[in-house]
A and B are shown apart, each in its own frame.
Chain A
Amino acid sequence: MTSEALTLAEKVWNDHLVVKGENGSPDLLYIDLHLVHEVTSPQAFDGLRLAGRPVRRLDLTIATEDHNTPTWDIDKPIADITSRTQIQALRTNAAEFGVRIHSLGDKEQGIVHVVGPQLGLTMPGITVVCGDSHTSTHGSFGALAMGIGTSEVEHVLATQTLPLKPFKTMAINVEGKLRPGVTSKDIILAVIAKIGTGGGQGYVLEYRGSAIRELSMEARMTICNMSIEAGARAGMVAPDQITYDYLKGRPHAPEGADWDAALAYWKTLPTDEGAKFDAEVFLDANTLDPFVTWGTNPGQGVSLLDSVPNPEDFKDPNDRAAAERALEYMDLTPGTKMKDIRVDTVFLGSCTNSRIEDLRAAAAVIDGKTKADGVRMMVVPGSAKVRLQAEAEGLDKIFKDFGAEWRFAGCSMCLGMNPDQLAPGERAASTSNRNFEGRQGKGSRTHLVSPLVAAATAIRGTLSSPADLEGAN
């Protein structure tokens, strides 16, 4: 019997097929893990109530509060009434249906995409969904992880399955060795700039190559997290020893014979030799610079050593019009060196870059340095646990001595659903994932950067990398 060579994504998909779709109808896939937060779930629970349906698998469902939660004064009632109502709705729904919840103040609370991996719930070869587009983060374990809408949240709560259309596969090959000061954030910003915000549409991306293999789990999470910014349905990295070492011993990781059985299965997951991808992209890690965005979508990025582009240079009329609009919104002139762009705020946080490794990297850059005059820096750990760990390592002291705000965990200024917003016209270097118009507050201007660039920018006041600091204070 010959077996067909398959990609990682195809293997996970096939192993979750409940019903194979026929005559153009979608496949029905089983969902192993459903993560829930307060913003995209209230209407889903309402739907269940109206139909008199229970949650089918409470043991595969977990909720936390992240988008609306304040990052100061978390022991006080939430001041914003609509935010408080939404969080209260999640608590009420969780209690009524029996869903496990980690609320503000709980040590397992945090950004849903930081909490899942931290608890050891995210594992290779599983299917993960959440009413949140950055669910793609979990693909870094070799899971098939997809963001869904509220109707689908209700669907998964009711049936633990989702009807899904077949996907195409794209290999993102990143070969070589990253230079010092260049990180996985720069890889993904460069990939999105290369393929565009719609380039991954319909595809599950698999990040491959020697540069990816060397990355830590945190760094892989950063890459997979932003797969959605390329329009992809999911992004994945094959599991390897780095994955297993990260998982082993976590609260919900398998133990004993279960671990052995899991490991044996996980080792079958990497893409078979000879498996065909529907598309391939290549990126040279050796020559990559720190990458930053200049525009209002994550595909509008350049090397930090480069300048603001001229819209005239875009061939496609839609791209040209988008660039013109973006430069007007961002108040930037073509030809301005990226390194000459002055920022008001530096935001270190979000499901893209708020894990312990991100905080360590930024702290190492600012340790003993002085913050630029007039620049505000906010540090928002991804979870209560990350915050505790950072404090145990003394990172909070480094941030506070530098003059940064050391805050409590949540999505915070990534999307400003809580009070953490930029003022109109304010400009930020942000380690988050979206530089859309108004994303971080009405009229806000966002440059997406890595934690290293964020830290160096806080010291110099203009977009900078650690390499620019030699000889500085």
Chain B
Amino acid sequence: MEKFETYTGVGVPLRRSNVDTDQIIPAVYLKRITKTGFEDALFAAWRNDPEFVLNQDAYRHGEVLFAGPDFGTGSSREHAVWALRDYGFKAVFSSKFADIFRGNSGKQGLITGIIDDATIEKIWQALEANPGLEATVNLVDKTVQVGDIQAPFEIDEYTRWRLLEGLDDIGLTLRDEQAITDFEAKRAAWLPKTLPARGA
């Protein structure tokens, strides 16, 4: 994973709450077995609407998304993160994220920063008043700058550290392989085993 420190890109106001992962990427796009190439699937249903924010020229190449509360609810599909990433988004801001979506984002280097609703509203207004305005995401000091607005955002320290360092989770865990092996040696005999297969 690439290291992330700061990034500047076009800010996109998504004035919707409860953006579930079925809206981010509908199920029909989940049949692909690759991990890239999902950009066409992002917000697929909404993109049929010419008024949709990403269909407006100023926001078409958006890279920093500002959304209403409860972003990423519902299905655990990591494809939602891949679709945002493949479209070009580097960061999403909301006052509240669903846990699984947030976890998935962290694995793929997509920043999910928490900013309160009142500040999101101010940023929406700034982006709407000046379409195409850029946002600068600074992971080092945990702020995002949009025009005159400088907003601090929250992100958990561990994820921030991993993203700043560009570290991969499996590699980190395998540093503890001895602890895993030790744990396995003490597991109870009654715990479920899928093999050998038993059927009725």
**Chain B interface secondary structure, helix, strand, loop or mixed?**
loop
Judge if B141 is at the interface, Cβ distance under 8 Å: no
A279 at the binding interface (Cβ < 8 Å): no
A126 interface hit (Cβ, 8 Å)? yes
Tell me which of B5-13, B132-140, B146-154, B192-200 binds A.
Answer: B192-200
Cα separation A438 to B199 with both chains bound (whole Å): 37
Name which of A2-10, A238-246, A250-258, A357-365 contacts chain B. A250-258
Q: Which of B27, B99, B184 contacts A415 (CB 8 A)?
A: B27
Q: Is the CB of A201 within 8 A of B98?
A: yes
Asked whether, in the complex, the Cβ of B195 is within 8 Å of the Cβ of A159, the reply is no
**Are B33 and A262 neighbours in the complex by a CB distance under 8 Å?**
no
By beta carbon, the residue of chain B nearest A146 is B100
A126 touches B191 (CB 8 A): yes
Q: With contacts A149-B76, A198-B98, A434-B74 known, is A100 near B194, CB below 8 A? A: yes
Question: What residues of A have a CB within 8 angstroms of the CB of B194 in the complex?
Answer: 33, 58-62, 100, 121, 252
- Do residues B76 and A82 form an inter-chain contact, with CB atoms below 8 A? no
- State whether the Cβ of B69 lies closer than 8 Å to any Cβ in chain A: yes
Which A residues are CB-close (under 8 A) to B179?
Answer: 18-19, 28
Alpha-carbon separation in the docked complex, A63 to B112 (Å)? 31
Residues of B within 8 A of A58 (CB): 194-195
B68 CB contact (under 8 Å) in A46, A67, A262, A318: A318
How many residues in A have their beta carbons less than 8 Å from beta carbons of B?
A: 90
Contacts of A24 in B (CB 8 A): 156-158
B174 touches A436 (CB 8 A): no
Please give me the residue from chain B that is nearest to A35 by CB atom. Answer: B194
The 0/1 profile, CB within 8 Å of B marked 1, for residues 132-163 of chain A is: 11000000000000011111101100111101
The answer to whether the Cβ of B63 comes within 8 Å of any Cβ in the partner chain is no
Partner of A147, one of B28, B100, B184, B188: B100
CB atoms of A85 and B33 under 8 A apart: yes
Report whether A82 and B32 are in contact in the complex, using a CB–CB cutoff of 8 Å.
yes
Q: Which of B1-55 contact A (CB under 8 A)?
A: 15-18, 20, 22-23, 26-28, 30-35, 45
- Whether A318 pairs with B69 at a CB distance below 8 angstroms is yes
**With A40-B78, A149-B76, A252-B198: A32-B70 Cβ-Cβ less than 8 Å:** no
- Cross-chain contact B27 with A417 (CB below 8 angstroms): yes
Nearest residue (CB) in B for A116 is B192
Kindly state whether residue A372 has any CB partner on chain B within 8 Å: no
Chain B hits for A309, CB < 8 A: none
CB pair A163 B172 closer than 8 Å: yes
Among A92-122, those with CB < 8 Å from B are: 100, 107-108, 119-122
A161 touches B98 (CB 8 A): no
Q: Which residue of A lies closest to B117 (CB)?
A: A318
Chain B residue at minimum C-beta to C-beta distance from A48: B170
Contact residues in A for B166 (Cβ distance below 8 Å): none
Q: Enumerate chain A residues within 8 angstroms of B27, measured Cβ to Cβ.
A: 67, 415-417, 439
Q: Does B104 sit at the interface, judged by CB under 8 A? A: yes
Count of chain B residues with a beta carbon within 8 Å of a chain A beta carbon: 64
Considering only residues 86-125 of chain B, those with a C-beta below 8 Å from chain A are: 96, 98-100, 103-104, 107-108, 117
Q: List residues of A (248-273) whose CB comes within 8 Å of B's CBs.
A: 250-252, 254, 258-259, 261-262, 265
Say which residue of A39, A123, A254, A258 sits within 8 Å of B30 (CB atoms): A39
Complex Cα distance A25/B117, Å? 28
Bound-state Cα–Cα, A408 to B100, Å: 30
Note all chain A residues with C-beta closer than 8 A to B96: 198, 201
Q: Does A276 have its Cβ within 8 Å of any Cβ on chain B?
A: no
Q: Is the CB of B188 within 8 A of A262?
A: yes
A26 at the interface (CB under 8 A from B): yes
Q: Which A residues lie within 8 Å of B172 (CB)?
A: 163
B157 to chain A, nearest CB (A): 4
Complex: A415 Cα to B179 Cα, angstroms: 40
Contact across chains for B117 and A165 when beta carbons are under 8 A apart: no
B130 within 8 A of A: no
Asked whether any CB of chain B lies closer than 8 Å to the CB of A349, the reply is no
B187 — which chain A residues lie within 8 A by C-beta?
30, 32
User: CB-CB < 8 A to A307: which residues of B?
Assistant: none
Residues B107 and A151 in contact, CB atoms below 8 Å apart: yes
Complex Cα distance A321/B190, Å? 52
B76 neighbours in A (Cβ, 8 Å): 40, 131-133, 147-149
Complex Cα distance A429/B79, Å?
28
Q: Are B173 and A159 in contact (CB under 8 A)?
A: yes
B61 at the interface (CB under 8 A from A): no
Which residues of chain B are within 8 angstroms of A231 by Cβ–Cβ distance? Answer: 70, 73, 98-99
**A198 contacts B180, CB within 8 Å?**
no
Complex alpha-carbon distance, A233 and B198, angstroms: 31
User: A442 and B45: CB pair below 8 A?
Assistant: yes
Asked if B56 CB lies within 8 Å of chain A CBs, one says no
Contact at A161–B180, with CB atoms within 8 Å?
A: yes
Contact of B192 among A60, A82, A297, A321 (CB under 8 A): A60
How far is it, in angstroms, between the C-alpha of A429 and the C-alpha of B76 when the chains are bound?
A: 24
* Residue B142 at the chain A interface, CB threshold 8 Å: no
A387 to chain B, nearest CB (A): 14
A197 interfacial by beta-carbon distance below 8 Å: yes
How many whole Å from A44's CB to the nearest CB in chain B? 9
**13 more A-B residue pairs beyond the given contacts A231-B73, A416-B27, A417-B28, with a C-beta to C-beta distance below 8 A:** A24-B158, A30-B180, A32-B192, A39-B77, A59-B195, A119-B198, A131-B78, A149-B104, A152-B103, A161-B173, A198-B70, A261-B190, A438-B26
* 26 interchain pairs, CB-CB under 8 A: A32-B192, A39-B77, A51-B170, A82-B32, A86-B32, A86-B33, A100-B195, A119-B198, A121-B192, A126-B192, A150-B104, A151-B78, A154-B170, A155-B173, A160-B184, A198-B98, A201-B96, A201-B99, A231-B73, A231-B99, A251-B198, A251-B199, A261-B190, A325-B16, A438-B23, A439-B27
The 4 lowest CB-CB distance pairs between A and B, nearest first, are: A149-B104, A151-B107, A149-B78, A42-B33
